[in-house]
Amino acid sequence: MSTKPKLTVNLLCKEANIFAQKESSHFEPALYGVTDGKAIGTYLEHKFQRFLREKYEYVEGSSAKGIDFPELEVDMKVTRITQPQSSCPFKSARQKIYGLGYSLLVFVYDKTDDSD
């Protein structure tokens, strides 16, 4: 039996803010020289999932399954500030008008490589 609290949308938003603040001042050597936005996005998504797993009980989805937090009906996207997300989650014009049916959690990053 888990002693971790169940993740809620409010907690997800709170933890996303904490994670973003922490990552904003963190320089990641593993990403030095990496220009592939998908690789950076996947790296940050996995890191955020690990961050949450330490504190909360929740059902973890995957990009292959279509949604990152299925119980909360929230999907996560990571995009670069200079090149916003080009993959559109909408499958039709109808979805664009009436919505996806789930919420999006979006992390926006600014990446610079410093050799020091």
**pLDDT tens digit string along 90-115?**
566 566 556 777 888 888 877 666 65
80 Cβ contact partners less than 8 Å away, ≥ 6 residues apart: 37, 40, 108, 109, 110, 111
pLDDT digits (tens, 9 = 90+) for 68-96: 999 999 988 887 777 655 555 656 656 65
pLDDT on residue 116: 57
The conformational region for residue 13 under phi > 0 = left, psi -120 to 50 = alpha, else beta, is alpha
pLDDT on residue 100: 74
The structural domains of the chain, with segments of one domain joined by +, span: 9-109
**pLDDT confidence band for 1 (50 / 70 / 90):** low
